[in-house]
Amino acid sequence: MTAPSARLGIDASKWNRGLDYAALSEAGVTFIIVRLTNGVAFDHAAAEHIRHARREAWSVGGYHFFRAHQSVADQFDAFAAADDAVGYEPGDIIPSCDIEHDPGAPEGQRDPTPLWSPLAQEFSALLTEYYGAAQTYCTRYDWVRLGRPQWVLDTHLWTPHWGVKEPATPGDNDALIWQNKVGPLPGTHGAPIDQDLADSLVLVPEPGPLGLTRGEVERIEDITALTIDTSVRNPQQ
Amino acid, single-letter form, for residue 3: A
- Is the pLDDT confidence value at 10 over 90? yes
pLDDT in tens, 26-81: 999 999 999 999 999 999 999 999 999 999 999 999 999 999 999 999 999 999 99
Looking at per-residue pLDDT, the higher value among 85 and 210 belongs to: 85
pLDDT in tens, 212-223: 444 444 433 333
The pTM of the full predicted model, rounded to 2 decimals, is 0.88
Identify the CATH assignment for 12-21+43-155+217-224 out of 3.20.20.80, 3.40.1280.10, 3.90.1150.10, 3.60.15.10. Answer: 3.20.20.80
Looking at per-residue pLDDT, the higher value among 237 and 143 belongs to: 143
- Domain ranges for the chain, please list them: 12-21+43-155+217-224
pLDDT classification of 2: cutoffs 50, 70, 90: low
User: What pLDDT is recorded for position 236?
Assistant: 35
